[in-house]
Amino acid sequence: MLRCLELAKLGLGSVSPNPMVGAVIVHQGRIIGEGYHQRYGEAHAEVNAVNNVINRFDDAAQLLSESVIYVSLEPCAHYGKTPPCADLIIKHQIPEVVVGCRDPFDQVNGKGIEKLQAAGVKVTVGVLEKECLDLNKRFFTRILKHRPYIILKWAQTEDCFFAPADQSQLWITGEESRKLVHQWRGEEDAILVGKNTAAIDNPQLNVRYGPGKSPKRIVIDRRLELSKELYLFDQTVETFVFNEVKTEFDGKVKYISLEDFNYYVPQYILYQLYLQDIQSVIIEGGATTLAHFIKDGLWDEARIFTGAITLKKGIQAPQIKGDVVSEDRVGNDVLKIIRPYVV
């Protein structure tokens, strides 16, 4: 199952809104095939693992009928972009399945396990369950909470300031931290900023210093006051502009008017993103935007860099409380990762 998890992680940034899944086929204590879900709309992990066996061995049918398949998430039981993986396992007469965790998606949620058991397959559920659940926290958040998984990210000075008082641009962190942030962007579906951050920093919000695709871009611009000359509007990436003026398309830029800009703005935005199949969002600022999501409890993880500089005055960094998951050095900076308290 640990190998399943290693394989599944290779799909990070490529399979959303599907979950990341790894599969390993074992015959008499020896791994004979493995696979993972590589890209949305393409073959699932179980299919790739079975094909791996078929391509490697002339007696694949016999081997499969004597093997155990380990899979990090419950095999699907419905027709989606691909046929049901439970049917595939039954077809190849694999007698035993070990599942990391159940799939809460309505069209699966126990149905894959039930179909396998009804066909006489031995099924074990809950092996490394905690790790398997954590692997797909983005997918589970979207399915169960009807919103994307939210990662808050900001940099602050040693004396906890977010930016100079005049809101001028200031690099608080070093190059190593900036490269890490670009790697993160390639792992998530979208990145969100407020109007002031867009206007002052003119960010490209893409992946320049790391692997992966550039995320979709999201900006909150209530009265549509941002200049169309900003990188945000360069038509290179799908971009959502939440406002109170209009709902229309302009190439890759989608203007979405919210029902009410005075109340529940974060909630409205996240539900609209859920409807767009966006599974995860990094919120990179500014301080007011971050504070709104913190205040409403709409966050799942905070990644906070502290740079080795002081400002003595300026815009205060957001205040957040939660469990510190890790604290590490990145170059000359300190990176702290926080998750909400478990109630």
What's the pLDDT tens digit per position in 34-76?
999 999 999 999 999 999 999 999 999 999 999 999 999 999 9
Average of pLDDT values for 202-230? 93
Domain boundaries, the chain: 1-140, 147-339
List, as residue ranges, the binding site.
44, 76, 85, 155, 171, 185, 197, 201, 205, 208, 284
**Per-residue pLDDT at 137:** 96
Q: How far is CA 193 from CA 213, 235, 294, in A?
A: 18, 17, 14
pLDDT above 90 covers a percentage of the chain that reads 89
**Distance between CA atoms of 278 and 269, rounded to whole angstroms?**
11
Average per-residue pLDDT for the chain: 95
Cβ atoms of 121 and 88 closer than 8 Å: no
Average of pLDDT values for 211-217? 90
Pick the CATH number of 1-140 from 3.40.190.80, 1.10.1060.10, 3.40.140.10, 3.20.20.70: 3.40.140.10
Q: Confidence band (pLDDT; 50, 70, 90) for 305?
A: very high
**Distance between CA atoms of 215 and 237, rounded to whole angstroms?**
8
CA geometry: angle 152, 155, 156, nearest 5 deg: 120
Cβ atoms of 50 and 88 closer than 8 Å: yes
Could you report the per-residue pLDDT of 265-303, keeping only the tens digit for each? Answer: 999 999 999 999 999 999 998 999 999 999 999 999 999
- Please, which residues have CB within 8 angstroms of residue 134's CB and are 6 or more apart in sequence? none
**308: its two tokens:** 């080795």
* Positive or negative: CA dihedral 288, 291, 295, 301: positive
109-113, 140-144, 271-275, 296-300: least confident range: 109-113
List, as residue ranges, the binding site for substrate.
185, 205, 208, 284
pTM across the whole model: 0.93
**Distance between CA atoms of 161 and 13, rounded to whole angstroms?**
32
Cβ atoms of 23 and 7 closer than 8 Å: yes
- So which residues are the catalytic ones? 46
Q: What is the DSSP letter of 306?
A: E
**66: its two tokens:** 């004597």
Pick the CATH number of 147-339 from 3.40.430.10, 1.10.260.40, 3.40.50.2300, 3.40.50.300: 3.40.430.10
List, as residue ranges, the binding site for Zn(2+).
44, 76, 85
**Mode of pairing for the β-strands spanning 190-194 and 161-163:** unpaired
SS3 252: coil
Average of pLDDT values for 99-103? 95
Please check the confidence at residue 107 and state whether its pLDDT lies above 70.
no
* Positive or negative: CA dihedral 166, 169, 173, 179: positive
pLDDT above 70 covers a percentage of the chain that reads 99
Of the two residues 212 and 240, the one the predictor is more confident about is: 240
Q: Confidence band (pLDDT; 50, 70, 90) for 195?
A: very high
79-88, 222-231, 293-302: least confident range: 79-88
Strand-pairing partners, residue 333, are: 330
Cβ atoms of 86 and 115 closer than 8 Å: yes
Q: Confidence band (pLDDT; 50, 70, 90) for 210?
A: confident
E strand or H helix at 162, and its extent? strand 161-163
**Per-residue pLDDT at 78:** 72
**Distance between CA atoms of 342 and 134, rounded to whole angstroms?**
14
**Per-residue pLDDT at 116:** 97
List, as residue ranges, the binding site for NADP(+).
155, 171, 197, 201
Could you report the per-residue pLDDT of 155-168, keeping only the tens digit for each? Answer: 999 999 999 988 78
**Distance between CA atoms of 141 and 279, rounded to whole angstroms?**
8
